[in-house]
Structure 1
């Protein structure tokens, strides 16, 4: 079976890393898991202000993107219910997909979540 991973990197607003990590753990991870994603890893580098995380599924990139659309709808509904959003805390880097490849932690990891 093919395994597709998505790596996302965010530049976090200065002084907001702890707030972002808290929101990520409360608002992103539970909804991702409920939809069917595995959150394989998450880490930050406080010095550079970069937060990186990897989510994955057993399936193709097309399967991943279809599940991601389902996730985005569920996330919007959940955030509306709890009246909370995280978009003011970061700017997103480009997304990278890896199919059937292991992703290694970089040497500049400050905090692994």
Structure 2
């Protein structure tokens, strides 16, 4: 499968941006990497209370199939992390690298 990259922008609930970033870094990133995803970077926009990151996958499954595996995994369920507790809005865009 060709590499698929998503630019994800999350609007985080007021006062929870730093907590979200810490949980993302400590819990989500290790599992994503273990399942073969790449993380191209992550940024915060404090003015807009947003968290922006790049995630990619270029393994044997499609991005959607691998993402479904992530959500269905026992490790993901054991996190006890409900994105709705932190995120007001999410936007995922497919992007293509040019440089």
**What's 1:111 paired with?**
none
- The RMSD of aligned alpha carbons is 2.4
Output the TM-score relative to the length of structure 2: 0.84
Gaps of 5+ in 1: 105-113
Aligned equivalents of 2:98, 2:75: Cα separation in 1: 30
**What's 1:25 paired with?**
25
Output the TM-score relative to the length of structure 1: 0.75
SS at match of 2:72: helix
**How far does the alpha carbon of each residue in 1:19-72 deviate from its partner, in whole angstroms, 9 at most, with x for none?**
000110112101111111001111110111011111002269x71111001011
**What's 1:78 paired with?**
75
1:97 aligns with 2:90: no
**How far does the alpha carbon of each residue in 1:59-91 deviate from its partner, in whole angstroms, 9 at most, with x for none?**
69x7111100101112xx325434443431112
Aligned equivalents of 2:76, 2:66: Cα separation in 1: 18
1:88 aligns with 2:82: no
The number of residue pairs the alignment matches comes to 99
- Runs of 4+, deviation exceeding 4 Å: none
| Superposition pairs of residues 26-65 of structure 1, within 5 angstroms | 26-58=26-58, 63-65=62-64
Aligned equivalents of 1:25, 1:58: Cα separation in 2: 21
Summarize the Cα distance change of 1:103–1:50 in structure 2 as closer, same or farther, 3 Å threshold. farther
